[in-house]
Structure 1
Amino acid sequence: MLHEAVRAAGYSAVVQTQSRTEAESVGDIAVACWGMPPEQLILETHSTNYGENAAFTRNKLAELGMAPSNIVVVQDPLMQLRTVVTFQKAWCESKQPPRFYSWPTFVPALVERHGTITYAPTLPAGLWAPERLVSLLLGEMARLRDTEAGYGPRGKGFIPHVEIPPRIEVCYQSVLAQIGGLEGLRTRLL
């Protein structure tokens, strides 16, 4: 999806995507669009999931003799929480685990305009269709759960227990009821 977004945004001239990892493409964006010096980037390019990314990043920093006290985690805003807790889990047995800061760069907001759900006008262009946003968000909620089907300790064990605030749980259950559950989500939105 990142590579599609790069092409759609017209960054193909400065960001190479063919035969490149997401980390390499994001590194190109950091250099070309945000002015980061390339020599300051440390890219982990071998992982295929969040758990590997966290573990491989920890190992790469250790190989470089680096023991950071602070780490800023930048991720798609919908997956930000899961990424941060995955990194926390990867470092939990360290003698001095770093403090993780979450920086999603923006937070999507939906508004109703003339009977249609759309994005708030202050958000960047090129985001997912609102239906896709809801699909991604509900899927992420299912993963964050500490149940047999979730990613928490009582489920797949990929992440530590995440406390879901009651207000968020009520909203989640309300949306699920309106669309007919996660199965309804798959047939209606994807």
Structure 2
Amino acid sequence: MISAGHRADAQVLWDFQRMGHTPRRCSVAVGLGSHDLGVAEVAAGLYLRGLVPLVVFTGANSPTTRERMPRGEAAHYRERALEMGVPPGAVLVETEARNTGENIRFSRELLAARGVPVASVLLVSKPYEERRAYATARKLWPEVEVVCASAGMSLDAYVAGIGDPRLVLDMLVGAVQRLMVYPARGFMIEQDVPAPVVAACTRLRDAGFTGRLLVGEHS
């Protein structure tokens, strides 16, 4: 069970991560691999609404997806999109990426190799990683316009759907930590992280929600 205090701090991080973009027509949608098949469903929905002519799913496996998605994140995403009615010819799959930076870089390289011109990207992620995905894409793919998209649901609804509150809170803490640490490493653009967000993240970290923290980092 998650205490009321931890739930309140998680809401602060959840709200901060949402970019508030309105999906619109873009050159391509890129669905970032994760444990959450909802990413594939959002990307498929964007295609079916006519907002993109092509979808790229990117992702190998991680410790949180190895058992859930044994064929790889991108492969499972593609299967779900096809179940929803996206034609096979409208889906490209990138199966090697193991982090957000590689998701962006390898997707960019795949599209260039296929000769697909890209001026704008609908970047589809888990709801609580929109800001991290945006900051990474702006650093590694600066010439394109980035529009973030994710499942439009509340924190409580998301946790209920995943079925693992600790995993979600671990992920929230890890995502904010990366926003503070990664710009200095050249992995993403710098973004202001307000003091209330830092405080909420610190309280959750100190309470033991550390499963996705970078080893040796204390920000």
TM-score tier after normalising by the smaller chain length: 0.5 to 0.7
After TM superposition, give the deviation of residue 17 of structure 1 in Å. Answer: 4.5
Aligned mates of 1:161, 1:130 — CA distance in 2: 29
| Identity across matched positions, percent | 25
Counterpart of 2:98 in 1: which secondary structure?
Answer: coil
Q: Which amino acid aligns with 1:164?
A: V
8 Å CA contact 1:77, 1:108 repeated in 2: no
TM-score w.r.t. structure 2 length? 0.58
After TM superposition, give the deviation of residue 55 of structure 1 in Å. Answer: 1.0
Provide the alpha-carbon RMSD of the alignment: 2.9
Alignment match, 1:36 = 86
Aligned mates of 1:31, 1:54 — CA distance in 2: 22
Alignment match, 2:182 = 151
* Structure 2 CA distance for partners of 1:130 and 1:54, relative to 1, 3 Å: same
* Structure 2 CA distance for partners of 1:87 and 1:127, relative to 1, 3 Å: same
8 Å CA contact 1:75, 1:103 repeated in 2: yes
TM-score w.r.t. structure 1 length? 0.66
Aligned mates of 1:107, 1:81 — CA distance in 2: 16
Counterpart of 2:95 in 1: which secondary structure?
Answer: coil
Aligned mates of 1:39, 1:47 — CA distance in 2: 21
Q: What are structure 1's unaligned runs of at least 5 residues?
A: 6-15, 110-118
Alignment match, 2:73 = 22
What do residues 28-48 of structure 1 show as CA deviations (whole Å, max 9, x unaligned)? 11110x211111112222222
Alignment match, 1:11 = none
Q: Which stretch has the larger CA shift, 44-53 or 168-177?
A: 168-177
Aligned mates of 1:143, 1:88 — CA distance in 2: 15
Alignment match, 1:47 = 97
Say whether residues 1:160 and 2:189 are aligned partners. Answer: yes
Q: Which amino acid aligns with 1:85?
A: A
8 Å CA contact 1:151, 1:158 repeated in 2: yes
Alignment match, 1:104 = 150
Counterpart of 1:35 in 2: which secondary structure?
Answer: coil
Q: Which amino acid aligns with 1:98?
A: V
Return the index of the structure with the highest Cα Rg.
Answer: 1
8 Å CA contact 1:138, 1:172 repeated in 2: yes
Q: What are structure 2's unaligned runs of at least 5 residues?
A: 1-33, 39-67, 212-219
Aligned mates of 2:128, 2:175 — CA distance in 1: 7
After TM superposition, give the deviation of residue 137 of structure 1 in Å. Answer: 0.9
8 Å CA contact 1:51, 1:86 repeated in 2: yes
* Structure 2 CA distance for partners of 1:31 and 1:152, relative to 1, 3 Å: same
8 Å CA contact 1:75, 1:104 repeated in 2: yes
Alignment match, 1:13 = none
* Structure 2 CA distance for partners of 1:90 and 1:4, relative to 1, 3 Å: closer
* Structure 2 CA distance for partners of 1:139 and 1:17, relative to 1, 3 Å: closer
Aligned mates of 2:203, 2:69 — CA distance in 1: 39
Correspondence 1:122-141 to 2 at 5 A = 123=158, 125-141=160-176
Alignment match, 1:2 = 35
Q: Which amino acid aligns with 1:99?
A: E
Q: Select the structure with the greater relative contact order (CA < 8 A; seq sep ≥ 6).
A: 2
